[in-house]
């Protein structure tokens, strides 16, 4: 952990390689009292960050991006070992992280106040930082999703308390070292950024309930997100949660394009992405052909060691999660699901699995966070109702050549994002990103996160 510019190294908590299941490092786990002390320290630096010049914020963000680029391969290998992410996918995450910090640097200089028209007053707004941002980040994109919270917090002049997932914290420790270097280079007190490692029920919980923290930016499970809404009190909250993301294939779709996109959207990083394909709803008139193409394409995926350049699908984050997924698949089959491919587990590796199910199957209601895809045959007029029947509302997708149908589905699908002719997996780091219903509150995407991490002050001057 890194608090007030000091590194504290203790061997409290084991970090497990999800592929080998071996202990790769032991890290500190803060007590609740230690977290409270860290928050008290962070509060002392609020004015430092608030008064940090636009130029310094820009330079810090660009320097962080530069350092990440210099360590691209090192960081990618840590992601592969720590999070089980196939190395070629890990490199993509590092590249995206570089872009995220650069994007924040751009918006530092483009984030504008506003003048309000008035007959006899001068009215304008000021954007000011909320104060202390608690950034609670997940295991699946530990580098880039940390960037999506840290970069806009720096850009808006906030102090940061960063609590990474204990399941994959090692790349966040390296990121903290990079941030430390950038702050030192521009002579900014190091206490403006603090890395708090440990268990979520202690570290994350104290960040959420502590009244000195002004905002919570959380990415993770719906269960934890609901707890945060109940415990946070009068804080700003941004929640980026999960979903059972429906992907709809209409009868006029380009099937090859749909299959290629849906294979990537279903199985990249073993389905452990909040916007991974959750279920596929295919027009019954083309369902036989689609299923044949989709299953055959999935058979081509390479499963194995994340450090192998050929690997497409690596392990799930833990043995416990893989065992849970195995049970869910068995329940799906017990409910009438027809296993078309996979269903096999080796330690924490779960092989690409495809089932044909009906709309009431457990897989259509459960976020598995795994390479497990249920396919539903349906009539076109049923598809929107099936897609909207879940309690989630993150991303959805529609494959069609008909622009009128594309617009109709986009207007009627109850989701934060609707992708047309691409899978639900698509995300560009500068677009507004988030869900409705139980999939979240607020929006990420640098400009939109900066709006959430700042307060509007209205100034009125009488002439």
Q: What is the mean pLDDT of residues 401-426?
A: 98
Burial of 38 (0-12, 13-18, 19+ CB in 10 A): buried
> Does residue 199 carry a pLDDT above 90?
yes
Cα first-last separation, the chain: 53
> Does residue 112 carry a pLDDT above 90?
no
Binning pLDDT at 50, 70 and 90, where does residue 96 land?
A: very high
Q: What is the mean pLDDT of residues 10-24?
A: 96
> Does residue 355 carry a pLDDT above 90?
yes
Provide the pLDDT for residue 343. Answer: 96
Provide the pLDDT for residue 212. Answer: 98
Provide the pLDDT for residue 22. Answer: 97
Q: What is the mean pLDDT of residues 380-396?
A: 97
Q: What is the mean pLDDT of residues 239-259?
A: 97
Provide the pLDDT for residue 3. Answer: 96
Beta strand 353-356 with 338-341 is antiparallel
Provide the pLDDT for residue 305. Answer: 98
**Domain boundary assignment for the chain:** 2-241+437-462, 245-420
Task: Summarize pLDDT for 417-427 with one digit per residue, the tens.
Answer: 999 999 999 99
DSSP line for 15-31: EE-TTT--EEEEE----
Which two structure tokens, joined as six digits, stand for 133? 């941002």
Residue among 436, 84, 79, 52 at smallest CA distance from 242: 436
What is the overall mean pLDDT for the chain?
97
Task: Say which DSSP state 224 is in.
Answer: H
Please state, for a pLDDT cut of 70, what percent of the chain lies above it: 100
- Catalytically active residues are 240, 274
Provide the pLDDT for residue 91. Answer: 98
CATH classification of 245-420 is 3.40.309.10, yes or no?
yes
CATH of 2-241+437-462, one of 3.90.230.10, 3.40.50.2000, 3.40.605.10, 3.30.365.10: 3.40.605.10
Would the CATH topology of 2-241+437-462 be identical to that of 245-420? no
Strand-pair partners of 355: 339, 374
> Does residue 328 carry a pLDDT above 90?
yes
Please state, for a pLDDT cut of 90, what percent of the chain lies above it: 99
> Does residue 369 carry a pLDDT above 90?
yes
Q: What is the mean pLDDT of residues 128-154?
A: 98
Which two structure tokens, joined as six digits, stand for 423? 């899978």
Provide the pLDDT for residue 85. Answer: 98
3-state secondary structure of 174: helix
| Contact between residue 106 and residue 119 where contact means Cβ atoms under 8 Å apart | no
> Does residue 463 carry a pLDDT above 90?
no
Burial pattern 137-147, b for ≥16 Cβ within 10 A else e, equals bbbbbbbbbbb
Residue among 306, 308, 304, 343 at smallest CA distance from 327: 343
CA distance 275 to 241: 10
Binning pLDDT at 50, 70 and 90, where does residue 287 land?
A: very high
Binning pLDDT at 50, 70 and 90, where does residue 157 land?
A: very high
Provide the pLDDT for residue 379. Answer: 98
């Amino acid at each position: 952990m890194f608090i007030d510019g000091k590194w504290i190294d203790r061997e409290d908590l084991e970090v497990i390689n999800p592929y080998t299941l071996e202990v790769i490092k032991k890290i500190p786990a803060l007590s609740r009292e230690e977290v409270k002390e860290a928050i008290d320290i962070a509060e002392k630096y609020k004015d430092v960050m608030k008064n940090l010049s636009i130029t310094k914020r820009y330079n810090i963000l660009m320097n962080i991006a530069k350092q990440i680029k210099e360590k691209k391969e090192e960081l990618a290998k840590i992601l592969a070992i720590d999070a089980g992410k196939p190395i070629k996918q890990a490199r993509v995450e590092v590249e995206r992280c570089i872009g995220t910090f650069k994007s924040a640097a751009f918006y530092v200089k483009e984030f504008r106040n506003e003048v309000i028209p008035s007959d006899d007053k001068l009215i304008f707004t000021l954007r000011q930082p909320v104060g202390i941002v608690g950034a609670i980040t997940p295991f699946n994109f530990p580098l880039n999703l940390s960037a999506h919270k840290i970069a806009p917090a720096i850009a808006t002049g906030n102090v940061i308390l960063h609590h990474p997932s204990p399941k994959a914290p090692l790349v966040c420790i390296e990121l903290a070292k990079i941030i430390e270097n950038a702050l030192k280079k521009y002579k900014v007190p190091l206490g403006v950024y603090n890395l708090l490692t440990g268990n979520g029920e202690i570290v994350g919980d104290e960040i959420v309930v502590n009244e000195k923290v002004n905002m919570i930016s959380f990415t993770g499970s719906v269960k934890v997100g609901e707890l945060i809404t109940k415990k946070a009190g009068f804080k700003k909250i941004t929640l980026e949660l999960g979903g059972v993301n429906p992907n709809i294939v209409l009868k006029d779709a380009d099937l090859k394009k749909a299959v290629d996109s849906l294979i990537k959207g279903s199985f990249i990083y073993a389905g452990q992405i909040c916007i991974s394909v959750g279920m596929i709803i295919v027009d019954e008139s083309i369902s036989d052909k689609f299923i044949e193409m989709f299953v055959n394409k999935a058979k081509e995926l390479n499963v194995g060691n994340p450090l192998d350049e050929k690997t497409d699908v690596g392990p799930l984050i833990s043995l416990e999660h893989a065992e849970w997924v195995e049970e869910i698949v068995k329940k799906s089959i017990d409910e009438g699901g027809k296993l078309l491919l996979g269903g096999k587990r080796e330690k924490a590796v779960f092989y690409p699995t495809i089932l044909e199910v009906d709309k009431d199957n457990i897989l259509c209601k459960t976020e598995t966070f795994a390479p497990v895809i249920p396919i539903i045959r349906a009539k076109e007029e049923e598809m929107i109702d099936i897609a909207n029947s879940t309690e989630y509302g993150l991303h959805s997708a529609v494959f069609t050549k008909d622009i009128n149908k594309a617009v109709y589905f986009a207007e009627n699908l109850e989701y934060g994002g609707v992708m047309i002719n691409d899978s639900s997996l698509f995300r560009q780091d500068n677009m507004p990103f988030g869900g409705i219903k139980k999939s979240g509150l607020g929006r990420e995407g640098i400009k939109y996160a900066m709006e959430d991490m700042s307060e509007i002050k209205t100034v009125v001057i009488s002439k």
